[in-house]
């Protein structure tokens, strides 16, 4: 059975989304490594900035769908300065988003 054009486009789009998620996970791991370095050696923001400005770092950021510009580098450095691991930051953000959605649904009812 041959797949149609729409199936091919959907498949390609799905593969691209999976690849972006994979590279986003690499960015999160780099942030966690920089946070660990900051706690241990005090140089986490400099480490993430050096990585983000490197050829490999710029390529990983691009593949994750993030424009590797200086504003992004500054944001990554600020995230590391805060010292909150990515898993904690993401779970808190997700729980706040869900709570806000529940409040909106309750208010709309």
The arithmetic mean of pLDDT across residues 76-103, rounded, is 88
- Residue 100 has, within 13 A of its CA and on its CB side, a CA count of 6
Task: Render pLDDT for 25-71 as a digit per residue (tens, 0 to 9).
Answer: 999 999 999 999 999 999 999 999 999 999 999 999 999 999 999 99
Residue linked to tokens 């960015």: 27
With H, G, I as helix, E, B as strand and everything else as coil, classify residue 5: helix
The number of folded domains in the chain is 1
Range of the domain at 52: 5-108
């Amino acid at each position: 059975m041959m797949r149609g054009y729409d199936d091919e486009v959907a498949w390609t789009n799905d593969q691209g989304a999976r690849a972006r998620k994979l590279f986003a996970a690499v960015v999160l791991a780099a942030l966690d490594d920089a946070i660990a370095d900051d706690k241990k050696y005090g140089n986490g923001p400099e480490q993430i900035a050096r990585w983000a400005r490197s050829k490999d770092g710029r390529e990983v950021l691009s593949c994750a769908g993030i424009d590797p510009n200086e504003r992004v580098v500054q944001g990554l450095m600020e995230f590391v300065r805060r010292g909150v691991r990515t898993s904690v930051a993401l779970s808190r953000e997700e729980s706040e988003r869900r709570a806000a959605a529940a409040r909106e649904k309750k208010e709309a009812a």
